[in-house]
Amino acid sequence: MNKETEALGRHILVEYYGCNKEKLRDVTLLEQELLQAAKITGATVLNSIVHKFTPQGLSVAVIIAESHLTIHTWADHQYASVDLYTCGNLCDPWKAFEYMSGVLETKNYSAMEMKRGIKHFLPKPEEEFDGDYQDPEMTRWYHDLDKYGYGVSIQTIGNRLFREQSAFQRVEIFKTKKYGNMLVLDSKIQTTEGDEYIYHELIAHVPLLTLQNAKRVLIIGGGDGGTAREVLRHENLEEVVMVEIDQVVIDASKKFLPTISCALDNHPKLKLLVDDGINYVKQSGDKSFDVILVDSTDPIGPGVTLFDDDFYKHCHRILTDKGILITQSESPTGAPDEYKELYKKYYRVFGDDNVHSYKCATPTYSTGLWTFSYCAKGGVHPLKDLDEEKVKEFEVKNQLKYYNADVHKSVFAQPNYMRKMLNELKATKFE
Ligand code: AG3
């Protein structure tokens, strides 16, 4: 019998000795790292709970759909006792073992694996359990939790519809109770059928209605197809090139998110390339696109190099004189450090006066507040150069759900704390 199928679950009991004391005392760090360890095993995180003892010691438990991970620490003894228990064939608890060993800077350890529910002793079920959800009526909470202690939770129904580890990331699709089907990449919610229009209408129409006469658009990422669908509503365009690195995302979106991915099937103006967007930008000729839209994941994992100075310099180079670069630029409340890092780079590459930040409220991204950068090579201004009549005509003709001229103007309004953040950055962008 092969190792994977001989038991219902695998339970690893771990002793970590000679750990870093400071880390054993840091409850926030331990909770975040144990959550991260759970994700690395491939588990679906349901919740986490922490407890601090006096005078010393703390416990963290992460509940996963596949069972749980726990850690109990005794900092003075530089010791942690850890349980890593996953059921089903889809998770590998040893990945969490390795990860936590690195986090705690363990000098020594012992670990043993116990099989739970050895199949030899169990009556044979009528149908083999494949380790994934089985009850089509069952509801669960999907938690997308980030390292700053925020998160978003969405109720899902029944079986996970799709899951595959691609060459770049883990691609999953869930059916949600309120927002239709949902695409998740490496445990981060990317889009849902229910609220995708907010993000996609804004990423596409804001630049395409301020820049008159755009002909060529480049989309980097955006494998679900929502950005392409909105861009292709602009009839003045001659060609839209979309470069998505992950075929698995495209295929899963075509199958499970048809209302979002509809433009990906044979649109005459769309050239869809499955390739590395960074190389594509590097190899593109000077001034070859009027608008570039970077519809990427967060600045971790496969998306990380899309957030480099070098990448933005090439974007600047391949834009036409009046061209505009738009990027999804994270949440200023959810990920303030990442947000600031990004805008530092935009100011350096495009110049202070040519960079603007606009925002929207998306219920399915943590904090609900999401932003886009608007970087104009030739200074085309998002408000002064707006042709409101054209917006009106466009928005009515296409029966848009979110975007209109008032929205266009309002998304650039900055609350004071954001204004302050950005002004400080302008002053320190070369530090
Ligand atoms: N791309 C940006 C999503 C960022 C999600 N991040 C997160 N949930 N922390 C969305 C893809 C839509 N086409």
pTM: 0.81
Residues with Cβ within 6 A of ligand 1? 144, 188-191, 199, 222, 224, 226-227, 295, 297-298, 328, 365-366
pLDDT for the residue numbered 1:
37
Distance 197 CA to ligand 1 centre (A): 13
In testing the pocket of ligand 1, which one of 261, 297, 372 has its CB within 8 Å of the most ligand atoms? Answer: 297
Catalytic: 295?
A: yes
Distance 99 CA to ligand 1 centre (A): 25
Q: How far apart are CA 52 and CA 268, in angstroms?
A: 61
Of 59, 57, 33, nearest in space to 45 by CA: 33
Ligand 1 nearest-atom number relative to CA 335? 9
**Which residues touch 423 (CB under 8 Å, ≥6 apart)?**
none
pLDDT for the residue numbered 244:
97
Q: How far apart are CA 202 and CA 231, in angstroms?
A: 10
pLDDT for the residue numbered 128:
58
Q: Exposed, middle or buried, 233 (CB in 10 Å: 0-12/13-18/19+)?
A: middle
Class of domain 139-192: mainly beta
Nearest alpha carbon, ligand 1 atom 9: 188
pLDDT for the residue numbered 132:
60
Distance 34 CA to ligand 1 centre (A): 23
CATH architecture of the domain with range 3-120: 4-Layer Sandwich (3.60)
Q: Which of 146, 186, 224, 295 is catalytic?
A: 295
pLDDT for the residue numbered 348:
95
In testing the pocket of ligand 1, which one of 183, 365, 371 has its CB within 8 Å of the most ligand atoms? Answer: 365
| Sign, CA torsion 204/277/270/255 | negative
Q: How far apart are CA 249 and CA 165, in angstroms?
A: 10
The first and second tokens of residue 173, run together, are 């699709």
Distance 173 CA to ligand 1 centre (A): 14
Nearest alpha carbon, ligand 1 atom 5: 190
Sequence-distant contacts of 107-112: CB under 8 A, at least 24 apart: 107/17, 107/18, 107/19, 108/16, 108/17, 108/18, 109/14, 109/15, 109/16, 109/17, 110/14, 110/15, 111/12, 111/13, 111/14, 111/15, 112/12, 112/13
Cis link prior to 55 (omega < 30° from 0)?
Answer: yes
* Mean pLDDT per 10-residue interval, the chain, length 431 residues: 68 97 94 93 89 90 94 96 92 94 96 91 70 71 82 90 92 95 95 98 98 95 98 97 98 98 94 96 98 90 75 97 97 90 95 97 95 97 96 97 97 95 89 80
| Residue ranges covered by each domain of the chain | 3-120, 139-192, 196-428
What fold does the segment set 196-428 form as a domain? Rossmann fold (3.40.50)
| Sign, CA torsion 170/337/64/16 | positive
